Structure 1
């Protein structure tokens, strides 16, 4: 009986997480009707899950009867911020890098088949790429993805390819991109995820040599000329080594 109950329990947890995931900056409050429509779950299931989430403070009901993020998440957010905050020396490295090359710097880690921005330093130019700390992006495209996937096993690459708009056929393209990045020591992309945007990225390798993160510049493609890309790659590579030297909170 216990073995049969476990999958159902896991499914319930995943559904609750999916409901929480419906909330974002563009939809900070949702009605029950909107949650039912977006989740695709029966209304009775949604009501049961919402009750549990409210009971545990993960959701709250506002004055309009809509569901918003609950107060219990404040504690978790504080814990996450403490766990992932860069040490002062690392933050200085990103700040100096953005100032020197006049482009926005991002630091990403891989989470399954997606990448998460854990730190950024905006460049001084008014026209720049906007990715916020905490944003998740797919791994099937972009220079950052190539850098993060340099050591990835075949099974993961296959799952990333299958998550792309091109399906499993994208696997060969991923392999070619990663091999090019391995040869060059850095990765570039132009308009793969969003037209008009380019990126240069390098892997951040931990003391054991494994890729733990990716450091990148992102911005309008018109500024990412061949000459600047080479300078960007040199600057990012040097900064990645410094980040490992000063220490990162997630690198063992």
Structure 2
């Protein structure tokens, strides 16, 4: 039997879970909504909300709803400073987007998720929209395959368990990672969302470990076999330029 999670750790995780409920679609939430979404007793939610409010992480608006607090502004500036790409790297992204007319993204892995830390939108009106800071799953997509290239098998199992396909999906993940190793890049067509495709390559740090993934994303109709090969070659060259430049925060 697994050891019971310490009470202090459980409290911290619950507070983080509450903060995770807020996004651009739901910037303010009522106590009832928070209780419903977390499944926690109302007394527990009230206690956590009070602590978060006293520390400035949450704020109560004129309607009595909770919203992001002012203390998060300092953390947001700190995160932006840590993850902002240097000018040379941003020029690489702009060059890729301009030459190949597709949106370019840089992702890093956070446990069983991937987080977009930079993007340069392509010039075409029909394009993939992923904002900096967006968090997506790792169970599918070209970016996920690139980020999982040197992942331990235990991580692949956890990713599979979080997927819509369950634990059996680990066999597919292993196959995808093997193909990406062989090809040097990863491709996906409609794996996570129908009609969207991506091509991704790993970006490695000074020690050789995968620290990020560089990708093109866009409508599947534009990701023909010929363009996929061109995308992969361009991304591979660009990834070499980014090696040792991206943050290696693990």
Partner of 2:210: 211
CA shift, 1:209, in A, is: 1.1
CA shift, 1:251, in A, is: 6.8
CA shift, 1:248, in A, is: 1.9
Tell me, in whole angstroms, the C-alpha distance in 1 between the residues paired with 2:249 and 2:20: 27
More divergent stretch after superposition (236-245 vs 11-20)? 236-245
Partner of 1:48: 47
Partner of 2:166: 167
- Using the size of structure 2 for normalisation, the TM-score is 0.97
Partner of 1:27: 26
SS, match of residue 23 in structure 1: coil
Tell me, in whole angstroms, the C-alpha distance in 2 between the residues paired with 1:234 and 1:58: 44
| Structure 2 unmatched ranges of 5 or more | none
Residue of 241, 246, 249 corresponding to 2:247: 249
Whether contact under 8 Å (2:211, 2:246) holds in the other structure is no
Tell me, in whole angstroms, the C-alpha distance in 2 between the residues paired with 1:41 and 1:234: 50
Partner of 1:155: 154
Partner of 1:141: 140
SS, match of residue 193 in structure 2: coil
SS, match of residue 127 in structure 1: coil
- Say how many residue pairs are matched: 248
Tell me, in whole angstroms, the C-alpha distance in 2 between the residues paired with 1:226 and 1:95: 23
Cα deviations by residue, 1:178-228 (Å, 9 ceiling, x for unpaired): 111111110000001000000000000112111110000000000000000
Whether contact under 8 Å (2:104, 2:119) holds in the other structure is yes
RMSD of aligned Cα (Å): 1.4
Whether contact under 8 Å (2:205, 2:248) holds in the other structure is no
Tell me, in whole angstroms, the C-alpha distance in 2 between the residues paired with 1:131 and 1:203: 19
Partner of 2:73: 74
Tell me, in whole angstroms, the C-alpha distance in 1 between the residues paired with 2:15 and 2:177: 36
SS, match of residue 122 in structure 2: coil
Whether contact under 8 Å (2:157, 2:170) holds in the other structure is yes
Tell me, in whole angstroms, the C-alpha distance in 1 between the residues paired with 2:41 and 2:120: 43
| Structure 1 unmatched ranges of 5 or more | none
SS, match of residue 175 in structure 2: helix
Tell me, in whole angstroms, the C-alpha distance in 1 between the residues paired with 2:32 and 2:169: 37
Partner of 2:14: 15
CA shift, 1:250, in A, is: 3.0
Cα deviations by residue, 1:97-121 (Å, 9 ceiling, x for unpaired): 1101000000000000110000000
SS, match of residue 136 in structure 2: strand
- Using the size of structure 1 for normalisation, the TM-score is 0.96
Tell me, in whole angstroms, the C-alpha distance in 2 between the residues paired with 1:248 and 1:10: 31
Whether contact under 8 Å (2:143, 2:198) holds in the other structure is yes
Whether contact under 8 Å (1:84, 1:250) holds in the other structure is no
